[in-house]
Chains A and B, each alone.
Chain A
Amino acid sequence: MLRYIGRRVLILIPTLAAISIVTFVVIQLPPGDYLTTLTAQRASQGDGVPTGEIARLTERYGLDKPVIVQYWQWISAILFHGDFGESFDYARPVSALLAERLPLTIALSLVTLVFIWAVSFPIGVYSAIRQYSVGDYTFTFFGYLGLAVPNFLIALVLMWVGLQFFDLNAGGILSPEYRDAPWSLAKLGDLAAHLWIPIVIWGTAGTAGNIRVLRANLLDELRKPYVVAARARGMPERKMTIMYPVRVAMNPFFSTIGWVLPGLIAADAITSKVLNLQTTGPLMLRALLAQDMYLAGAILLISAVLVVLGTLVSDIALGWLDPRVRLRY
């Protein structure tokens, strides 16, 4: 097992390096460099950039040096000082902006993950065991629906329904009256009342996908000879199903860790925007639209790194769960 983890971690290093390069390329993609963008933007607002500022920024990002050096200055600042650069749009350090929004984002992601698991596990198992039952068809249909409806559309519809029929403002994370209030039970309740909407919205696609995979896997497993053999030795059906086939079919659950967490950091920018949530998604969106590339790049980098770490965690979980994976290395 340790060897297995060791190997995984070792593979991580070149992957992370490659990811940082890709991110840097993305940062460099828009025409012109940071300074020209900045100058253009300030100019459009009617004020210029002081020369001292220009010199400082040129020095800070190595803008007059070769691209390789620029990359090194960028990545070493991140690695050694946690300095992701500066957002000219907000005129603040990127790391400060992230610090404001990351905690909520991560908390939401974790809750969403739990939601996905809690919903898809029983439904997936049920659908496989009662294949072609009314329940199976119903769940399958809703599963497909969940995959087919874009998240932002669900968000829009929910908000519209809330506004139209219940006179509710589903957007945001807290009702206006609690926004500056000290923490209390009532505020917590209000938080919960608002939070379920984004969680359900984010959860749908993941849940639908998980149900589909779990059902298909379990159906395959249920046809394996060891199931008949276990039945033949008198295992009670329920216990047998959980212990043997379900355990094998569970694998996709662990791969969800890999993408749910980081996915939300940036992927659901659109829904977050519709729902007016203070997560990192809308931040990235705005940064991209304004071509505020250090900010956008930082978010991209963080989410990619989280995917890699998430995959590591899910691989380790898989290795722990599945001896075939563990013992192969």
Chain B
Amino acid sequence: MKDDTLAVASQWKLVWWGFKRHRVALVCGFVTVAIYLVAVFAPFLAPGSGQKTNADYTYAPPQALHFDWDTGLYVNPYTFKQDPETLALSFEADESKKAPVGFFVKGEPYDLLGFIPWDRHLFGPENPDGPPMYLLGTDSVGRDLLSRIIRGTTVSMSIGLVGVLLSLVLGVVLGGVSGYVGGRTDTLIQRVIEIIMSIPTIPLWMALFAAVPASWSQLERYFALTVVISLVGWTGMAREVRGKFFAVRGEEYVMAATADGAGRLRIMFRHMLPSFTSHIIANLSLSIPTVILAETALSFIGLGLQTPMISWGVLLQEAQNIRAVSTAPWMLIPGVAVVVTVLAMNFFGDGLRDAADPYKH
């Protein structure tokens, strides 16, 4: 029985079986999917838009979430305390009061998936006009960090995906041409790749992005960033594709396909491509974290996206100087989001890569 299922198992099934065996990679795969879901449903999942400033609550520290049977989930509202000597304000939890936290509460309106207007949020303070809830604290102008991180997921994750998809297209086309045509075309493309690769990535990104006019809109900057990232990033993908092409081209079954009378395109797409799609996907999933890191770094130094657009890099930009960090260490929390995401995607991608060729012995 078992032998029979194995016998008729397609490549994808074998890859999946191999992948399943890596427990860590499997868990990280779920984490990755979860993060992308957060990115898609961010406006609903976040308690607020993350754009609402509140001058009374600058650098408010994170609140603890409590639970008792009478009120359910609640937070203790902030009280202000002034240091009698330095006159500096500090926040404290007012344990005598409870601000209940509910699910599917009304809050700031938004467009789910960009076109469904709605105003419910997964969770938030039950009384929208009552004391605010800042589970991860606030920034220098009193914006809710939790909402901002969740909202930032959309931009950070989509830049990763879009940037990598763009480099994928470039890389697969040029790498494929290089590998399939071979000869001089191949040598030429390889030289170009070598040259691009010899210019250090981040400075090149910085230099290219520095050329983006400051007058461009947020959306334009966003696309400029993905284009810049993929302009530099396609080389790795192209090399990978070309390498695979060469390896597969030497297999007898490709020659057999010629003997079968298959045309060039059919050989390429029916016979050769399937043998490295799994590698390409693994490679993709390993490139996305790189792009996320690049966006974070560029935005961090102010060469990438800028407020009011929210991305993890933009959020970290506010933690740029050590003074801000020491007064409000929670400003580093977006970094945790970056690390967790990148870590999960790396483990996931590695597991995928190991499983990508189920036919090697």
B238 in the interface (beta carbon within 8 A): no
Question: Which residues of the other chain, A, contact B201 by a CB distance below 8 angstroms?
Answer: 267
Chain B residue numbers with a CB within 8 Å of A303 are 199-200, 203
Which chain B residues lie closer than 8 Å to A296 at the CB level? 207, 210
Q: Closest approach, in angstroms, between the C-beta of A218 and any C-beta of chain B? A: 16
Per-residue B-contact encoding for A272-308, CB less than 8 Å = 1, 0 else: 0110000000001100110100001101100110011
* B199 touching A19, Cβ below 8 Å: yes
Q: For the complex, is A43 an interface residue (Cβ under 8 Å from B)?
A: no
Residues in A whose Cβ lies below 8 Å from that of B335: 149-150, 153, 156-157
A300 and B338: CB pair below 8 A? no
Asked if B347 is at the interface of the complex by the 8 Å CB criterion, the answer is yes
Measured in the bound complex, the distance between the Cα atoms of B329 and A22 in whole Å is 41
Find chain A residues with CB under 8 A from B347 CB.
144
A79 to chain B, nearest CB (A): 18
Count of interface residues, chain A, beta-carbon cutoff 8 Å: 50
Q: Shortest beta-carbon distance, B296 to chain A, in Å?
A: 6
For chain B, residues 319 to 355, give those with C-beta under 8 angstroms from any C-beta of chain A: 319-320, 322, 325-326, 329, 332, 335, 338-339, 342-343, 346-347
Are A270 and B297 CB-contacts (below 8 A) given A144-B347, A262-B200?
yes
**A88 located at the interface, meaning its Cβ lies under 8 Å from any Cβ of chain B in the complex:** no
- Contacts A18-B195, A144-B347 hold; do A163 and B326 have CB atoms under 8 A apart? yes
Bound Cα distance from A19 to B266, whole angstroms: 38
Chain B CB within 8 A of A31 CB:
yes
Q: Is the CB of A15 within 8 A of B343?
A: no
For residue A228, CB closer than 8 A to chain B, the reply is no
Contact A30 B319 (CB under 8 A): no
Is A85 an interface residue, CB under 8 A from the partner? no
Question: When A30-B210, A153-B335, A269-B206 are in contact, do A259 and B199 touch as well, CB less than 8 Å?
Answer: no
Residue numbers in B under 8 Å from A268 (CB-CB): 202
Contact A266 B202 (CB under 8 A): yes
Rounded to whole Å, the gap between the CB of A270 and the closest CB of chain B is 5
Chain A residue at minimum C-beta to C-beta distance from B342:
A148
Interface residues of B in 18-45 (CB under 8 A from A): none
A153 touches B338 (CB 8 A): yes
Compute how far the CA of A308 lies from the CA of B200 in the bound complex, rounded to whole angstroms: 10
Q: Which stretch from B57-65, B71-79, B95-103, B300-308 is at the chain A interface?
A: B300-308
Contact across chains for B200 and A266 when beta carbons are under 8 A apart: yes
Residues in chain A near residue B50, CB distance under 8 A? none
Q: Contacting B339 at CB < 8 Å: which of A148, A263, A265? A: A148
The answer to whether A263 and B200 have CB atoms under 8 Å apart is yes
Give chain A nearest CB distance to B342 CB in angstroms.
4
Do the beta carbons of A156 and B325 come within 8 Å of each other?
Answer: yes
A-side residues, CB < 8 A to B, are 14-15, 18-19, 22-23, 26, 29-31, 144-145, 147-150, 152-153, 156-157, 159-160, 163-164, 171, 259, 262-263, 265-270, 273-274, 284-285, 288-289, 291, 296-297, 299-300, 303-304, 307-308, 311
A sample of 10 more A-B contacts (CB under 8 A), given A31-B211, A144-B346, is A29-B208, A145-B339, A145-B343, A150-B293, A160-B329, A163-B322, A267-B201, A285-B206, A300-B203, A304-B198
- B→A interface (CB under 8 Å): 191, 194-196, 198-204, 206-208, 210-211, 213, 289, 293, 296-297, 300-303, 316, 319-320, 322, 325-326, 329, 332, 335, 338-339, 342-343, 346-347
Which 8 A-B residue pairings sit nearest by Cβ, starting from the closest? Answer: A29-B211, A266-B203, A148-B342, A288-B210, A148-B343, A307-B198, A304-B199, A153-B335
